[in-house]
Amino acid sequence: MEIYIESLLNGLLMGSIYGLTAVGLTVIFGVLKVINFAHGSILMVGMFVAYWCVTLTGMNPYLAIPIVVPLMFYFGYFMQQIVIEPVFKAEKDVREPITVIIVTTGVWYILDNLALMFFGAEYRVAHTSVTGKLFELPGGIYLLQPKVYGFVITFACALFLFWFLKNTVMGKAIRATSLDRDAASLMGVNQYRIYRTAFGIGTAACGLAGCVLIPFYYVYPSVGLVFDIRAFIIVVLGGLGSIPGAIIGGIIIGVIEEVGAMFMPSTWTELVIYGLFLLLLFVKPAGLFGSKQDF
């Protein structure tokens, strides 16, 4: 019995972290209406920044958050400004600019290969102060400390973003732009600045996910692929553009993966996940929390 509780708890923890890896994707989609194919690579960059920050200074991975998150925010902010914005402007009359999707694919390849050039293909594991530490619950249930911290950080991040979008001027401007970019422009919102900020928030979320993953995961240049497809499914499952949707979607996938594997070979859990995904697309194409209003 304990083993099933252990797997359920693990599913909750790991699922929330999957949700965190998908937050960036959902924020960027919600505002820019662009599927960011470079998402996995940005997550990889976030992981590498966190990895080097922790390995070179030997600091606690969670104390690195105030360094990694702003760094990643500006990385995204300027990438949007320099790489994506010119293409965006050329296609400004279209609601879903296709060329931008192709540009993000280019960014994916460039980032992956730059990482390969600078860091090599080997797997790196950060040996931090929380790595391998456990919380022991009664009944011989072990929970990995970094996953528990990751769970807490995920919810803190979701609550903060929710508050930020509801209550700040910038948050309101972001929501206005995501509802109707032209109307927002007419009200005096600089839509390109909003796009940069939204992209920055998306990459910053990847940086946060990097800090959460580093204490128990490995990094290498194509690590993004491991989380990438899962993040897409989570985002569609939860509803494109919805932050609570991403977290709940992540938890659903995490629980199916962990608990499902107790009853069937673990290769089959993917079948269940993709099956559920297709079913949901038939029944509720907007996703669990998706609506016409993206936030």
Query: Which residues of this chain interact with another protein, rule CB under 8 A?
Result: 3, 6-7, 10, 14, 18, 122-125, 127, 132, 134, 142, 144, 216, 218, 220, 225-227, 230, 254, 257-262, 265-267, 269-270
Backbone phi, then psi, for 228, in 5-degree steps?
-55, -60
What's the closest the beta carbon of residue 223 comes to another protein, in angstroms?
8
Smallest gap, in angstroms, from Cβ of residue 149 to another protein? 14
- The angle formed by the CA atoms of residues 246, 248 and 251, to the nearest 5 degrees, is 105
Task: Find the shortest distance in angstroms from Cβ 139 to another protein.
Answer: 13
**Shortest spacing between CB 21 and another protein, in angstroms:** 9
Closest contact distance (angstroms) between CB of 44 and another protein is 13
- The span from the CA of 201 to the CA of 49, in Å, is 16
Closer to another protein at the Cβ: 140 or 188?
Answer: 140
User: Residue 190 in contact with residue 174, Cβ under 8 Å?
Assistant: no
User: Which is nearer to another protein, 225 or 286 (by Cβ)?
Assistant: 225
Residue with Cβ nearer another protein (14 or 45): 14
Name which of 110 and 134 has its Cβ closer to another protein: 134
Q: Which is nearer to another protein, 63 or 134 (CB)?
A: 134
Residue from 181, 27, 174, 36 nearest 95 by CA: 181
264 or 278: whose CB is closer to another protein? 264
Least distance between another protein and beta carbon 20 (Å): 13
